[in-house]
Copies of this chain bind each other. A is one copy, B any other.
Amino acid sequence: MLQQDALRDRIVARFEEMSPQLQQAARYILENTQEVALVSMRELARNAGVQPATMTRLAKFLDLPGYDDIRSHYSDALRLRADGFAARARAREGQGGAVGGGLAQEMLQGLSAQVARLSEPETLAQLEAAADLLAGARRVYVLGLRSCHSVAWHFHYVMTLLGDRTVHLDGPAGTGTDGLLRAGPEDVLLVISISPYALHSLELASLAREKGLSVVAITDSEVSPLVAISDRVILCSTESRTFFHTLTPALAVSEVLCGLLAARDREGSLKALQEADQHLAALNIYANTIPRRRI
């Protein structure tokens, strides 16, 4: 169970003060926490052998507005547990205030949980397998259109610092996809696409497949059209309480892939990074000393 379960503590603490019926209800809840989240109050009451009203009364006794607060508490706990082990800050604590005051917090906690959920064993296995495939490739072509451009570009950028094996399938004047010209079976295509799927991404992935490339996909669903085309699929959620999808989990996946690849060849990566450093230093790209500010 949860480490710091405030509600459970409160129930235990005030158990002695409760009336017999309340105790019976409380005892059942303590011993069947998951059921609280999964069945209705009336059914829970039936199973606990008490009246429905007793559950409501128990909630009031615990200084809660109603029974729904008990349920939502255990729902959250179950969600958390199912999600994995996200060290999530206490749910909806100080969310008062401004228009979107709650929104920002909710979004961030949601994102945190989504990223945490990526460390499920299946996903980890797919990540490892995908890294294997990418590590063995002669070239890695990276494709991400529209919203997924950010993820594709980020992967490409990091990999550029680590070596010169990646080709980003993008460019001005629609020439981006010419890169696939010389691609072959020794190469791998990393394609990122989420619903709604850009037609062009699917076409290119299919083409790559026909040319014999292996395909690694970062996408959002088991029924994504990329699943049928790809050798390895890494699923990441894109749900958000806004109007648009989130790409934060996808970016996390991309970064993990980079990390895995770098870890496979520590010395090589380090050397490549040093070279990159020298190159960038020669071009004076970065501010090495904090510049005088001249407001």
> Which residue numbers of A lie inside 8 Å of B, CB to CB?
1, 8, 11-12, 15, 23, 26-27, 30-32, 34, 37-38, 75, 78-79, 81-83, 85-89, 92, 94, 98-101, 103-105, 107-109, 111-113, 115-116, 118-122, 124, 127-128, 131, 146-147, 149-151, 153-154, 157-158, 161-162, 172, 195-200, 202, 206, 209, 220-223, 225, 228-229, 237, 239-244, 246-248, 251-252, 255-256, 258-260, 262-264, 269-270, 273, 284-288, 290-291, 293-295
Contact = CB atoms under 8 A, between A and B. Distances in A.
Contacts of A12: 222-223
B225 A122 contact: no
A150 B147 contact: no
A294 B225 CA distance: 11
Interface centre among A109, A120, A162 (most CB of B within 10 A): A109
Given A100-B128, A285-B199, A107 B242 contact: no
Contacts of A85: 81, 109
B1 A122 contact: yes
Number of chain copies forming the complex: 2
Contact of A121 (B92, B259, B260, B284): B92
A128 B116 contact: no
Contact of A150 (B75, B154, B244): B154
Contacts of A81: 82, 85
Given A85-B81, A146-B157, A196-B286, A119 B108 contact: yes
Given A115-B248, A255-B246, A258-B244, A78 B34 contact: yes
B112 A124 contact: no
Nearest 4 pairs of A and B residues by beta carbon:
A112-B116, A150-B150, A196-B286, A150-B154
Contact of A197 (B79, B263, B286): B286
